[in-house]
């Protein structure tokens, strides 16, 4: 079940507003975020953040990765909210969103794609003016949604993920999640070492000069959200990977159906997904790969100004 009281307290402390469980009320049109909950179906309720511009030029929807929550987007969202409506939500299994049993929700990229489409509809977002910015586990669902519905957005920016089944481009622990019995072993290890994951995931592969700390409120939200329900974020990640190869293969087989304009951005020093994966995707989409110099797997956290530039270039 959702711990609405925890989410509301965190929201009030960080953003200055809160909303109650259920269909969220409209946000005030200023740079204070409205944070609350939106019901997608009987099993899934999402915590979401919205900032409204006075005279929006369009809408930007941010999709987070592992082990993040919507809080990773808050400062970027504030920077964009002068000109754009900005949305972000926690994926099921992350943050304060629902964590139904796997019998009720599969946590696969295709399941997340359905959640994404439902959110856009529920939030009444104008697709013709929508830019989706997705990273890590959020990227493949965005592209799957676009294959199914080419008008899902005006354009999509993706990066630092594995669109194709190329294990040799993936970090060893990610390769291990793609099949049993190593997947279950990795899941158990991730749950056992959750504190280390939350503290150091962002630093790996970077020099001492390039390493960075997360804002305290972002770190706190991730720490408190890791296991607030019956499934941990590592459990959700495990279930995502249990169908990952299937959905990667589907995406590659249907790549020709992808008509929505896509941009590809990647951290130069991504330890988890080699930028060669991004290069292949960009080549097959006939677009330029935007490599963020010196960045690891989380360019939006390491160099948020680059993310803002990328969004503005795409949303214009």
pLDDT tens digits, 170-180: 999 999 999 99
* Interacting residues of 264 by C-beta distance below 8 A, sequence separation 6+: 157, 158, 159, 278, 281, 282, 285, 287, 288, 289, 290
Backbone Cα Rg of the chain: 18
Cα gap 92→63, rounded to integer Å: 12
Rounded average pLDDT over 189-195: 97
150 pLDDT exceeds 80? yes
116 pLDDT exceeds 70? yes
Provide the mean pLDDT of the chain. Answer: 91
92 pLDDT exceeds 90? yes
pLDDT tens digits, 266-292: 999 999 999 999 999 999 999 999 999
Write down the pLDDT at residue 181.
Answer: 98
Q: Where are the domains of the chain?
A: 4-315
Write down the pLDDT at residue 31.
Answer: 54
- DSSP string covering 176-231: HTTSTTHHHHHHHHHHHTHHHHHHHTTTTT--TTT--PPPHHHHHHHHHHTTSSSS
HSE-up of residue 259 (Cα within 13 Å, Cβ side)? 6
Question: Is-above-0.85 flag for pTM?
Answer: yes
Write down the pLDDT at residue 2.
Answer: 34
**Token pair recorded at residue 213:** 């700390």
Give the model's confidence band at 119: pLDDT under 50 very low, under 70 low, under 90 confident, else very high.
Answer: very high
Higher pLDDT, 8 or 235: 235
Write down the pLDDT at residue 28.
Answer: 35
Is residue 35 within 8 A of residue 49, CB to CB? The reply is yes
pLDDT tens digits, 123-144: 999 999 999 999 999 999 999 9
Write down the pLDDT at residue 10.
Answer: 37
**Token pair recorded at residue 305:** 């100004």
6 pLDDT exceeds 70? no
% residues pLDDT > 70 (the chain)? 90
The listed CATH number (3.30.360.10, 3.40.50.1820, 1.10.3720.10, 3.60.21.10) that belongs to domain 4-315: 3.40.50.1820
Higher pLDDT, 220 or 24: 220
Least confident of 5-14, 87-96, 101-110, 242-251: 5-14
Cα torsion through 282, 72, 308, 146, rounded to 10: 40
Helices (H) and strands (E) in the chain, counts: 13, 8
Of the candidates 313, 312, 293, 316, the one whose C-alpha atom is nearest the C-alpha of residue 76 is: 312
Cα gap 298→159, rounded to integer Å: 9
Write down the pLDDT at residue 83.
Answer: 96
Write down the pLDDT at residue 256.
Answer: 96
% residues pLDDT > 90 (the chain)? 88
DSSP bridge pairs for 38:
46
């Amino acid at each position: 079940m959702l711990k609405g009281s925890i989410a509301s307290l965190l929201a009030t402390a960080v953003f200055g507003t809160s909303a109650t469980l259920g269909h969220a009320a409209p946000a005030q049109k200023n740079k204070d975020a409205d944070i609350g909950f939106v019901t997608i179906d009987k099993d899934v309720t999402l915590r979401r953040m919205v900032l409204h511009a006075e005279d929006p030029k369009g809408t930007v929807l941010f999709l987070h990765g592992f082990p993040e929550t919507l809080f990773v987007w808050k400062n970027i969202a504030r920077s964009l909210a002068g000109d754009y409506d900005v949305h972000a939500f926690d994926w099921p299994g992350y943050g304060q969103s629902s964590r139904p049993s796997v019998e009720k929700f599969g946590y696969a990229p295709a399941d997340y794609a359905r959640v994404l489409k439902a959110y856009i509809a529920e939030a009444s977002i104008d697709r013709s003016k929508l830019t989706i910015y997705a990273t890590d586990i959020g990227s493949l669902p965005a592209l799957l949604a676009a294959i199914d519905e080419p008008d899902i957005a005006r354009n999509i920016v993706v990066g630092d993920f594995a669109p194709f089944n190329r294990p040799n481009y993936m970090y060893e622990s990610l390769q291990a999640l793609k099949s049993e019995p190593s997947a279950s072993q990795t899941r158990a290890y991730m749950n056992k070492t959750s504190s280390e994951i939350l503290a150091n995931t962002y630093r790996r592969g970077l020099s001492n000069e390039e390493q960075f700390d997360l804002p305290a409120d972002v770190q706190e939200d991730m720490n408190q959200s890791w296991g607030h329900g019956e499934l941990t974020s590592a459990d959700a990640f495990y279930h995502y990977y249990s169908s990952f190869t299937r959905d990667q293969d589907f995406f590659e087989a249907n790549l020709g159906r992808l008509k929505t304009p896509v941009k590809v951005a990647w951290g130069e020093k991504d330890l988890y997904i080699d930028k060669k994966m991004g290069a292949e995707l960009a080549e097959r989409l006939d677009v330029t790969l935007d490599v963020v110099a010196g960045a690891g797997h989380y360019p939006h956290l390491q160099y948020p100004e680059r993310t803002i530039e990328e969004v503005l270039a795409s949303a214009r």
